Amino acid sequence: MPSSPHSSLVRTEAFRPAIGLGNCHLQTIFPRYHRPRPWIHTQCQWLQTPDGDRLALHTPAPLRDDASAPIVLILHGLEGSVESPYVQGIMQALKASGFQVAVMHFRGCGGVPNLLPRAYHSGDSADPRWLAGHLRERFPATPLMAVGYSLGGNVLLKWLGEDAEQSPLSAAISVSAPLDLHASSRRLQQGFSRVYQRHLLSSLRDSLRRKAQNPELAHKMPKLDEARYFSSFRHFDDHFTAPLHGFADVDDYYTRASSKPLLKHIQIPTLILHAADDPFVCRSAIPEPHEVSPSVTLEISKQGGHVGFISGSLWRPQYWLEARIPQFFLDNMPNCPE
């Protein structure tokens, strides 16, 4: 296990793919169809944001102020929700390990449109930062941790880099984050990855159509019947994401929203889990040890796909993330003896 010039570690042997599921696309797609419909019931609380919008916070049980039971904030991926299989799985695993869990829906996710023309994006660190402040006020004795997947992972890492030593979190984990949005947009234009791009853009279009049923919002948004706006993420981000969220254009958005340049500023124990064969992310986006701070541990596996990491076998799949994530948080409990 080679160490970097910092204290960061690069581990490549931790994950082994399931027999029969070595292909990156099988790793990526299999969990979506293998796992049952959502099995954990949650309560939804709507929180009013300072700019007059709303965020949905889902919890399996009412949160409590308990120094021995940290709250883990879960940030889902693009067009995800509390019903996403990976969110359901990690909620169950964290609960079994004694953690409290809370899932933040990014604005407009979960099938309920938000109230403003803007929605959410890959660098939207302001909302989880505001929510973390809200949770700290309500539960001052309770440690706060976070795990982010894909888009949510990039948001989380950007937030940690921006806040540095001021972060309210005790520990954090990022899974399959795009890290470099320029490179990821190019990767999704290649080969079978275009299938994922098409699926996600279709979902985004459906979400915008639901929002456009409100005429006051519809006239402030770009035209949804322009097919070329949905032909690639680069076009979508240039015509929707950038103008609706205050960026000059798509390149300005990708540059300012990418988390990779901020990784060296992170000051809390942070684990970055990533697969080199991720079909959403160029290998060039994966950070080297010298590009992260001493507080960051890199675990880069050769295989695993995008938010996959299925071990065991095709007949008895094991969701490796649901063991690794709780273990890292347990190892980094505040005031936990070495």
Residues known to be catalytic? 150, 278, 306
CA distance 160 to 235: 29
- Residues 202/196, Cβ–Cβ less than 8 Å: no
- Residues 44/25, Cβ–Cβ less than 8 Å: no
Instruction: Tell me the DSSP string of 215-226.
Output: HHHHTTS--TT-
User: What is the dihedral sign for C-alpha 217, 222, 223, 224?
Assistant: negative
CA distance 107 to 114: 6
- Using a 10 angstrom Cβ sphere, with 0-12 exposed, 13-18 middle and 19 or more buried, the burial of residue 115 is middle
In the chain, DSSP assigns E strands to 10-11, 43-48, 54-59, 71-75, 100-105, 144-149, 171-175, 270-275, 296-301, 310-312, 317-319
